Amino acid sequence: MCQAAPRCKTLKEMDLIKTSEPDCYCYNQNSQMEWKYIWSTVQMKITSSGLLSIVYITERHSCQYPETILAFIKCVIHNFWTPTETNEITLIINPYGKTVCFSVKPARKTFVYTISVTRNTVDFKLFLVFLAGVFLFFYAKTLSRSPIFYYSSGTVLGVLMTLVFVLLLVKRFIPKYSTFWALMVGCWFASVYVVCQLMEDLKWLWYENRIYILGYVLMVGFLSFAVCYKRGPLADERSINLLTWTLQLLSLLLIYCGVTVPQFSYVVIILLLCSWGLHYPLKAFCYMRRKMKNWFTSEKLVVKRLTEDEYREQAEAETTTALEGLRQACRRPDFPSWLAVSRLQAPKKFADFVLGGSHLSPEEISLHEEQYGLGGAFLEEQLFNLRTDSLPAH
């Protein structure tokens, strides 16, 4: 029997109960944990031909002395939750969590309701939450620098948690940090409560007030995007680091909420934190590995053929550099100038070159143009050979 309510009936997997009497039910925690049920959940579906409501039964001390902050939030929501009447209710329960007790109250005693208990071996929603947490942990730094993520997350925050978004906008007008954080906690709990209430009646709200919902989403989303666009993406390194740490903390929370076995989530969180701490040593190891590979691996020589223009430009540049080097060498004090002059046929030309003149005389330049310029003998010979090669053989 359930410890919180001794008179409640105990539910087990594969149970199917049909009754019209209001009663309370409890699902007790499984004592033996199995690793193959890491992402499994227990689904309780309550259906009736008429309207009915459920009320959670929680112990008083569970709110005063909660084990975790998540347990406290759940307890507060259950205590302030306003039961709504409907003809179909689905409860998703963690099989390894705390004992869950609730009472079913039909609107009329003539309404017969059915309670069916089934186990989902793999809850894909839970598995996607876990994968989203792992992805967010590793890509938090990249996302915090992405303008697309900045604008999209700001728009979603403005739509889902309007109170928190407005409070962040008026933060500069709040004089004390203690007042700001007190308002932040209040706005956060109020936003979570409103979102949970709307998610419970989302199907009914969508069919009955579709136009109003679309109008609210478009208007608030546009205003949120406009505010984010006006402020621009984060540029301060301190703000970027703060957003990165916030996203990593959120990722750890998603990992914790994405599994039903707490021990597995603790192991994954510890491994992620260790991998984050070993990021810099691994980065240094990869850098040294690339350096060692470059040292011991001979690179293949890439042969590139030069065009005629590139060949001419490189020849002129190298010739100019070599002539300037020769001129500087001849100007050194230890250069044997008398020995060089005694062996030259044109000493005056050499002296003019050392003092900065050209290494060619006007006669040599004129002779080169006649030989290799336009209309020169060399060019005519090349053209004649080309015409001879292109003639067909008889």
**What angle (nearest 5°) sits at the alpha carbon of residue 134, between those of residues 133 and 138?**
115
Query: How many angstroms from the chain centroid is the CA of residue 156?
Result: 16
Q: Per-residue pLDDT for 115 more than 80?
A: yes
In this prediction, residues 263-285 reach a mean pLDDT of 79
Question: What sections of the chain are H helices per DSSP?
Answer: 60-64, 69-80, 124-138, 140-144, 147-160, 162-169, 177-200, 202-208, 210-231, 237-257, 262-277, 279-296, 308-330, 337-343, 347-354, 362-372, 377-390
DSSP symbols for 6-71: TTSEEP-TT-EEEESS-EEEEEPPPSS--GGGTT-EEEEEEEEEEEEEEEEE--HHHHHS-SSHHH
Q: Per-residue pLDDT for 67 more than 60?
A: no
Residues with Cβ within 8 Å of 131's Cβ and at least 6 positions away in sequence, in order, are: 258
Cα–Cα distance, 346 to 324 (Å, whole number): 19
Residue 293 is predicted with a pLDDT of 72
- Half-sphere exposure in the Cβ direction for 386 (13 Å, CA): 6
Q: Per-residue pLDDT for 360 more than 60?
A: yes
Greatest mean pLDDT among 26-30, 79-83, 137-141, 332-336 lies in: 137-141
Q: Please give the share of the chain, as a percent, with pLDDT higher than 70.
A: 77
pLDDT in tens, 71-104: 566 566 555 554 567 788 888 888 877 778 888 8
Greatest mean pLDDT among 3-7, 9-13, 208-212, 245-249 lies in: 245-249
Amino acid at 234: L
Residue 66 is predicted with a pLDDT of 56
Per residue, the 3-state secondary structure of 314-334, as one string, reads HHHHHHHHHHHHHHHHHCCCC
Task: Please report where in the chains the tokens 């989302």 appear, as a residue.
Answer: 202
Residue 3 is predicted with a pLDDT of 45
Cα–Cα distance, 240 to 316 (Å, whole number): 53
DSSP structure class, residue 345: S
Cα–Cα distance, 24 to 17 (Å, whole number): 12
Task: Please report where in the chains the tokens 């963690």 appear, as a residue.
Answer: 94
Residue 131 is predicted with a pLDDT of 92
How far is the CA of 59 from the CAs of 10, 93, 99, 132, in angstroms? 17, 17, 10, 33
Q: Per-residue pLDDT for 61 more than 50?
A: no
Tokens found for residue 350 = 């050499």
Cα–Cα distance, 62 to 60 (Å, whole number): 5
Q: Please give the share of the chain, as a percent, with pLDDT higher than 90.
A: 2
Q: Is the dihedral of CA 284, 286, 290, 296 positive or negative?
A: positive
Amino acid at 294: N
pLDDT in tens, 369-390: 777 665 556 556 665 565 555 5
Binning pLDDT at 50, 70 and 90, where does residue 392 land? low
Helix axes 262-277, 124-138, angle to 10 degrees: 20
Binning pLDDT at 50, 70 and 90, where does residue 230 land? confident
pLDDT in tens, 135-180: 999 888 888 888 898 888 888 888 887 777 788 777 777 777 777 7
